[in-house]
Structure 1
Amino acid sequence: MPAKLLTMEPSPNSTPSPNITDLFHKFVHLDGELADTFYTLWIALVVVNAVIFLVGVVLNSLALYVFCFRTKTKTTSVIYTINLIVTDLLVGFSLPIRIIMHYSAPDCRNCALIHIFTYFVNMYCSILFLTCICIDRFLAIVQVEASRKWRNPNYAKGICAFIWIFATVVTFSILTMAMKFSHCCIAQILPLMVCEYVFPLIIITFFTTRIMCALSKPTLMHQSRERRMRAVQLLITVLIIFMICFTPFHVRQLAISINPGMSNNISLVAYHVTVALSSLNSCMDPIVYCFVTNNFQSTMKNIFRKSEPEQTSGDIISINKNSGSNAIIAFTNVIGNPLGLPSPNSTASS
């Protein structure tokens, strides 16, 4: 990942301050630096990234098939989820490309820049789409009548397009300015964190608290208790993903902003470990998909085992397929009720 591309050769007539170069160098580090300094850790992270790639791509590809081709109605939640799946797949596919680049073109700074840019765009898109899913669940459960107009598939598509453009423009602007004006990197990195991490975390925490409070006052809500509990489970799952996957990376970036004199070895290790944790998001998001529609996990099972075709009460059409991978069936059994999710046949459609 990013680093050497930012330690650009100064022109013969320039005398840049070493502190400026070192400052931005601490924010991002290429894989070559880690491999040269901590080879054992580099190999361990290669193995971890390979596992994340395999698990994430398989699960998200199956989820994309279910939501795109086996879902009756493309509700707002489904639209946000499809976009989230796309970002997770892009993150997953970037992992082997990252390793290939390290061994085949370690000195290609333009290649590294493109990889860095696309990786961070997809990471922040994942954060924003998770936030949209949580907001949509809150509106569907707590503000049913007031939100009917806004929970429109056409509006959802527009919001998704805006998120892609926003994340692309902001990330490109930050990286470009930071490379050209390294002394501005602290001033630029903090707004990025606020716009694409802090605000979403505050919003998700707020809505999770609101729904949990509403659970104690059932007279204020017309939804069934099971549906409300499913919404709470979704928001709590997203909060857990934020804490495990995204928070360590942004805490590390903030620490560098506050203390640019941090040891380079500590900065190097922290960067690569927290980036690996952020990639883990692509494997954890399939848990969220279980709460978007009530029959997602049962449909995933039916893809890999022979079953009698039947009409379900939810958004997803049951599939009659031959038996397949027992490993995937086992996984869907595990994630089917990670937080006490009601049985798929017992819940109402989202």
Structure 2
Amino acid sequence: ITLFSKFIHSDEQLYTNFYSLWIVLMVVNAIIFLVGVVLNSLALYVFCFRTKTKTTSVIYTINLIITDLLVGFSLPVRIIMFYSAGDCKNCSLVHIFGYFVNMYCSILFLTCICVDRYLAIVQVEASRKWRNPTCAKGICIFIWIFATVVTFSILAMAIKFAECCLSKILVLMVCEYFFPLIIIIFFTTRIMCALSKPSLMHQSRERRMRAVQLLITVLIIFMICFTPFHVLQVAIFINPDMPDNISLIVYHVTVTLSSLNSCMDPIVYCFVTNNFQATMKNIFRKTEPEQTNADITGTNKNSKGS
């Protein structure tokens, strides 16, 4: 008995057993696709062509936008493949692999943005040598490779092996989700405590508030979009004999929630640059937008070198 059927459920199963729910989720996915692609395409334009300096935060954000766009475009591909290939297992595997690689890349890039914000606000001098574009690009390349290798390993074990590999799959999931979540909670707590210290009061209140808002927003995105899916995986690990109908429904609902991430990430972008919101408004008003400041830390003299 393979683990694939426990961890992954095809659209064919949902369509056959719960047709009404399948229709609802397809409508929701269509809305997510439209909203996510429009917002992220505009954001990509702003960060690539209307941002003066490509700092570390901007580089991480551009990679996050790319992952969100890939997740968005995977949704219509999923529907097309369902109608054209039916229950073709190999076709499903290609889509599932691509989808989860991008989901885990999103998780890791959000984590990078949080850590980068903490370093920029609290550890300015100590992190100067690490917060540079070259280092950020290297980290992004590593994340793409890491997410690809780990996701492939999870799917390979789920497809080929039996219950003996449940513990290995759980370890891999910890690496790609629970460990980043712990990092985000830790640095969110640290930065909120540090910002109350007199030594950081010289920084503008707006700058400090933006940092807190960014971290809290990322934490909320994690809780809404990614936590339900991974809680399901842990539940399967604890109870491998979970009824198929329950795991089928919960799987598809939680995967849809994880797709919602592509619509929520643009909120994060608002806290990465000073004038992102103003630039977006200018675009919608069809006026010539001014270039945005590269990073919210760019206005602070202590971090100009980053």
Alignment TM-score, normalising by the size of structure 2: 0.94
Aligned partner of residue 51 in structure 2, secondary structure: coil
Q: Which sections of structure 2, spanning at least 5 residues, go unmatched? A: none
Matched with 2:66 is 86
Residue identity (%): 82
Q: Provide the C-alpha distance between the structure 2 equivalents of 1:308 and 1:111, rounded to a whole number of angstroms.
A: 44
Counterpart position of 1:48: 28
Match of 2:236 among 249, 252, 256: 256
RMSD: 1.8
Picking from 14, 24, 37, the partner of 1:34 is 14
What is the match of residue 285 of structure 2?
305
Q: In structure 2, the residue corresponding to 1:127 is in which secondary structure?
A: helix
Name the counterpart of 1:267. Answer: 247
The amino acid that maps onto 2:294 is: D
| TM-score (structure 1 length as normaliser) | 0.82
Partner of 1:71: 51
Query: 2:294: which partner in 1?
Result: 315
Note the 1:317-336 alignment, pairs <5 A.
none
**Counterpart residue identity of residue 40, structure 1:** S
Corresponding residue SS for 1:291 = coil
Q: How many residues align?
A: 300
Q: Cα–Cα, structure 1 residues 154 and 310, in superposed 2: closer, same or farther, change >3 Å?
A: closer
Residues 48-100 of structure 1 show CA distances to partners (whole Å, capped at 9, x for unaligned) of 00000000000000000000011100000000000000000000000001011
User: Quick one: which of 156, 168, 172 aligns to 1:188?
Assistant: 168
SS of 2:53's equivalent in the other structure is coil
- Spell out, residue by residue over 1:221-259, the C-alpha distance to the aligned partner (whole angstroms, 9 max, x if none): 642222111101000000000000000000001001100
Residue 181 of structure 2 is matched in structure 1 by 201
Q: Counterpart of 2:7 in 1: which secondary structure?
A: coil
Give, in angstroms, the shift of residue 122 of structure 1.
0.3
Contact 1:231 1:291 in 2 (8 A): yes
1:107 to 78, 81, 87: 87
Q: Give distance in 2, aligned partners of 1:224 and 1:237.
A: 20
Measure, in 2, the Cα distance between the counterparts of 1:160 and 1:36.
40
SS of residue paired to 2:185: helix
Per the TM alignment, residue 111 of structure 1 is displaced from its structure 2 partner at its CA by 1.1
Question: Displacement, 1:109?
Answer: 1.5
Deviation at 1:262, TM superposition (A): 1.1
